Amino acid sequence: MENGQAAFRDALIAAGLLIPTGVDGLYGRSGVFEDVVERFNDLITTWGGGDGADVMRFPPGVARHQFEQSGYLKSFPHLAGTVHAFKGDERAHQSLLRRLEEGEEWTDAQLATNVVLTPAACYPVYPTIAERGPLPADGALVDVYSYCFRHEPSLDPARMQLFRMREYVCVGTPEQVMEFRQSWVERGRALMESLALPVAVDLANDPFFGRAGRMLAASQRDQGLKFELLIPIASAEQPTACLSFNYHQDHFGLLWDLRTPDGAVAHTACVGFGMERVALALFRHHGFDVKAWPAAVRAVLWG
């Protein structure tokens, strides 16, 4: 499996679609790769833009105090990236440079800033909605898109450390958010089938940390809280999750005190699109030359 991943990555690099940096999971993208991502992003808007979502665009970092409150460290401590900076004087600077020069570890003198890398595009949405007071009767619908970070260096080009996620997020009553999620399971499948990709939708779980995490994962599956749309990319046996459909129940509602107009704790759900993964799926199944892609697929993306 790992061989297939490395071979696919090397082929993408040889074709100039990805630019290596010497760090697994950290790549530049060519203009062609980016064009595919942008066209796919527009396609999502074509399918979802009619719902009147509130468009928010956050940078790739979130506020540390919001991140700490989010509970992410309970479930996924191994994936988070905190941003640290030098806060010393000139003498400390000389010491830093000396250690760097001599090949010693210099990063242990870096101190945490108030910024943490965005772990999923929707994380800054919940405190933002909470700030705005009680929800409207028909709930809140938000459209977000950002670079996200997960510390999981991998040979698999579909498992990058820095990647983009587009999401629609729904906050409201259990009925509202379940209907939102169900509609996106159907739309997501139809959207991806319009790109002539082989898709399967399956029950899934998040990569919770540790032993307690295994129980959380099992419980998440038992309750049918997470579905993924899978496409074979680097491996036929282990297809890659390209879209995910998540029902958080009252998890974020309780954390951020999100309330429906009648005072009940709000429920939330989101649909997430892994932008690089979808681009890679298209390159895998239709070839590296976008001009040679099936005419129907080109028509969907480039109109």
Q: In the window 20-49, what residues touch a second copy (CB under 8 A)?
A: 20-23, 26-31, 33-34
| Pairwise CA distance, residues 33 & 53, whole Å | 27
- Comparing CB distances to a second copy, the nearer of 145 and 180 is 145
- Comparing CB distances to a second copy, the nearer of 92 and 203 is 92
Output the six-digit token pair for 12: 């993408």
Q: Which of residues 76-115 bind a second copy (CB under 8 A)?
A: 77-88, 90, 93, 96-97, 100, 105-108, 110-115
- Comparing CB distances to a second copy, the nearer of 97 and 203 is 97
Nearest approach, Cβ of 178 to a second copy (angstroms)? 26
Nearest approach, Cβ of 282 to a second copy (angstroms)? 17
* E strand intervals along 119-173: 140-149, 162-172
Q: Which stretch binds a second copy (CB under 8 A): 13-21, 215-223, 254-262, 281-289?
A: 13-21
Count Cα neighbours of 117 within 13 Å in the Cβ-side half-sphere.
18
CA nearest to 142, candidates 288, 266, 26, 278 = 266
| Pairwise CA distance, residues 26 & 230, whole Å | 23
Q: Which of residues 130-159 bind a second copy (CB under 8 A)?
A: 131, 143, 147, 149, 151, 153
Nearest approach, Cβ of 202 to a second copy (angstroms)? 28
Contact between 251 and a second copy by CB under 8 A: the answer reads no
Nearest approach, Cβ of 85 to a second copy (angstroms)? 4
Place of tokens 């939708």: 201
Output the six-digit token pair for 25: 């999971």
- Comparing CB distances to a second copy, the nearer of 179 and 206 is 206
Q: How many residues bind a second copy (CB under 8 A)?
A: 73
Q: Which stretch binds a second copy (CB under 8 A): 67-75, 133-141, 172-180, 260-268?
A: 67-75
Residue length, the chain?
Answer: 303
- For 235-261, give the DSSP string: -SSSPEEEEEEEEEETHHHHHHT-B-T
Contact between 211 and a second copy by CB under 8 A: the answer reads yes
Nearest approach, Cβ of 280 to a second copy (angstroms)? 15
CA nearest to 41, candidates 27, 55, 52 = 55
> Are residues 143 and 55 in contact, defined by beta-carbon separation less than 8 angstroms?
yes
Contact between 288 and a second copy by CB under 8 A: the answer reads no
| Pairwise CA distance, residues 126 & 132, whole Å | 10
β-strands 240-249, 140-149: how paired?
Answer: unpaired
- Comparing CB distances to a second copy, the nearer of 76 and 293 is 76
- Comparing CB distances to a second copy, the nearer of 68 and 175 is 68
Secondary structure letter of residue 265 according to DSSP: B
- Choose, by CB under 8 A, the member of 134, 136, 207, 210 that binds a second copy: 210
Q: What residues contact 303, with CB distance under 8 A and at least 6 apart? A: none
Q: Which of residues 164-193 bind a second copy (CB under 8 A)?
A: none
